[in-house]
Amino acid sequence: MFIQTIKRFIEKFQLFQKGDRVLLGVSGGLDSVVLLETLYLLKKEYNLSLFVSHYDHKIRRDSYKDALFVYQLCKERKIPFFYTASSVPAYAKREGLSLEMAGRELRYNLWYYLAKKYDFQKIALAHHLDDLAEEIFMKLIKGTGKRGLAGIPVKREDLIVRPLLFVTKEEIKKFALERGLTWREDETNKDLRFLRNKIRHILIPFLENNFNKKIKENIRKTAFLIAEEEELIEELAKSKFEEIKFYLEGEVALKLHELKQIHPVLRKRIYFLAFKEAKIPLFRITYPHLENLENLITKKTKGPIYLPGNFLAYRGPGYIIFTKKLFSFPYFEIVVSKEGEYLLPNNRILKVFRAPFTKDFIKPENSMSFPAERLTFPFIVRRKKPGDKIYIPSLGHKKLKKFFLEKKIPHYLREDILLIEREKEIVGVWNLYIHPEYEITDKTKELIILQIK
């Protein structure tokens, strides 16, 4: 009966395709053990290749026993096993996160990495109806929008799937006992310091006993209806995102004029797609982050907007860009005396090399090119300093500060723009300016290329 129910969910939501390579997140607890058993029983029917990932959070001293238990389950079923361990408490402290959020962020980062490296078509997780109810109440308590009321999606990005989402903990346990399964008990699930556990052990039982015994079932119906609408909105957001996104020196950017024309509800969904593309931690995004971005769009604030994971968003001329937070360094000079690689203060590499110049020459990403006969060694790569000027034909020398203002370069970016200097003359401002005597012409045969990696 249980297996048939799960099969109906798999078919209804098209969770698997024949021949999928599936990575299962298995902690060793009741839910994940049942997930493993269920997909193992359905393996032949869907022609699935199963793999298991176990993440040791190093919260409990005996957590290694969970890993050994899961390893034994995999060994008995001849399923490949991935074991990963790291200290979630240390990561939580370093990043200023709760233990629950830190653990979730590390697990998902691992699963996405494994899926990409080993070509897994699906990542199967063991969330169930009780988890769905708990998630919705957590979001209501903390404050949420309609998206939050949808709870945990049964399918996300066509990668994350949750085959057990619409069965209860009680049904899962009954199946486990019928199959004679054993599992590990995690004592932290009873720790009332965690909000989720308070909801699980106090709030939901209270509501069931005093208001409605079928509250979980009603939540399932409501969440399912909202989730259908969410899927439509998400598809619209993806379509618009593809229209207005572009890359600026490898960073994700959005066309500002087009972004302004989009309804604010859809615009906020597009921000999430940009966050994901830029690898900004989605679990840490809060409502104020979205409001700050809206204010940046409407010019209520100049920015930049600081985002989780050491990222920021700022306005450029005609765009919004999402990038790693930039740090200013003390003044520096690097003498480039020959071809090779030079370490910049931000730990990125400046590669200097020669290349022939032909009509079909394609400029390398994040680089500047000069005629080799003009930019000869040695020359200097440095940060700006007070009094810097550049030469403009017919105008003479112009202060670099005024040049940046005209180019609408935000003040917080100017300190990190590289200058190329030869014989005490600025011959290049990174991807903004080249001295007229150092421009590429039809007579140029060889280039000196500077590329940041």
% of the chain residues with pLDDT over 90: 59
Q: What is the amino acid identity at position 55?
A: Y
Tokens 């209501």 belong to residue: 140
3-class SS shares of the chain: helix, strand, coil, % to 5:
45, 20, 35
pLDDT tens-digit map of 262-292: 999 899 889 999 998 998 988 888 888 999 9
**Predicted pLDDT at 151:** 67
Determine how many CB atoms are found less than 10 A away from the CB of residue 433.
21
Q: What is the amino acid identity at position 426?
A: I
List own/partner pairs for 105-108 with CB under 8 A and 24 or more apart.
105/281, 105/283, 105/284, 106/55, 106/57, 107/25, 107/55, 108/283
2-213 shares its CATH topology with 248-324: no
Count, residues in the chain:
453
Rounded to two decimals, the pTM is 0.68
**Predicted pLDDT at 208:** 87
Enter the tokens of residue 124.
């199967």
Residue 416 assigned to a binding site: no
Mean pLDDT on 238-244: 95
Tell me the CATH number for domain 248-324: 3.30.465.60
At 220, is the pLDDT very low, low, confident or very high (cuts 50, 70, 90)?
confident
Residue 103 assigned to a binding site: no
Mean pLDDT on 127-143: 83
Q: Does domain 2-213 have CATH number 3.40.50.620?
A: yes
**Predicted pLDDT at 438:** 96
405 pLDDT higher than 70 = yes
Domain ranges of the chain: 2-213, 248-324, 333-452
96 pLDDT higher than 90 = no
At 327, is the pLDDT very low, low, confident or very high (cuts 50, 70, 90)?
low
Measured distance CA(114)–CA(123) in Å, rounded: 10
381 pLDDT higher than 60 = yes
At 326, is the pLDDT very low, low, confident or very high (cuts 50, 70, 90)?
low
Residue 27 assigned to a binding site: yes
Among 94-103, 290-299, 325-334, the least confident range:
325-334
Residue 31 assigned to a binding site: yes
**Predicted pLDDT at 249:** 72
Look at residue 233 and give its three-state secondary structure: helix
Residue 400 assigned to a binding site: no
Residue 200 CB burial class (10 angstroms; 0-12, 13-18, ≥19): buried
**Predicted pLDDT at 133:** 85
64 pLDDT higher than 80 = yes
pLDDT tens-digit map of 160-212: 999 999 899 999 999 999 999 999 987 767 777 777 788 888 888 898 899 98
Measured distance CA(387)–CA(267) in Å, rounded: 42
**Predicted pLDDT at 265:** 86
